[in-house]
Structure 1
Amino acid sequence: MIYGGFAPLLDVGSRRGAYIDGFVLPVPPGNKQAYTELAQKAARKFEEYGALRVVEGWSDDVPDGKVTDFRRAVKAEDGETVVFSWIEWPDKATRDSSWEKIMKDPDMQPDHDNMPFDGKRMFWGGFDVLLDTSAEASAERELA
């Protein structure tokens, strides 16, 4: 198990996604502002294409594990911070069609010379929501 605490860096949108994309990546020292600006730009685009919520977490309490941990997972170098982020979508179909559009959007093409993080050490994946204890999800369960 890998665990850690992350301070909110960005949290936009509602909280009722049924499908989630998760990302973990290292950010070099001094790149917090540049990363935040990139994350804000990307969040606007994700919402434009159907995302319900985008959250970026800046590591705050990320302990070293005995076998693995967040820092090892991204091969974090001295001074690098780990970012844990997710995008909530209404469903997987919306996510899949949105990513096709996002990947073709000229505003979303990466500027590899000016990225505030090393994308080769980022990892990501898509997840069905297994449990959601938010007030919105609780209200939906009561209505069902």
Structure 2
Amino acid sequence: MNIKSGRGSAQLRVSDPDAAARLGADVQAEAKRKRERKQPGREGALLTLKQAADLLDVSVATLRRYVDEGSLRYIDMTRHGSVRRRMKFDRQDLENFKARRSRIETARCPSNAKARPTISSTSKSEVYDFAALRDQRASTKRKP
């Protein structure tokens, strides 16, 4: 029986045909589980940065900003010694983020609006006609 892995292949000799069939079924089941783990639609699957940004309908830069400011949780998948940060996102964390960010705006009742205060005092100032004063000064003769 030949077993192929991602980095090469190995040969395994099994004398019992039933054991070989069970082993082959186990290998196929494990491969299927790995494929399902990578599918973003599956419940519990971790989402990449791009998939999470698409789910929230924002850009990748905006998603990174949410992470940097601490608004959004992520799972650190960075390997030891790696410089670049690898982030994965849980679908439930994204749903919680959307729930925290959602708001309902209600219209204000016009009767509850604050009215301007009424002033009971009257002004005692005089009104000057500056244009008339200017014309009066212009019409008088200047002293030589």
TM-score (norm 2): 0.20
Of structures 1 and 2, the one scoring higher in RCO (CA 8 A, sep 6+) is: 1
Structure with more of its chain in helix, by fraction:
2
Structure with more of its chain in strand, by fraction:
1
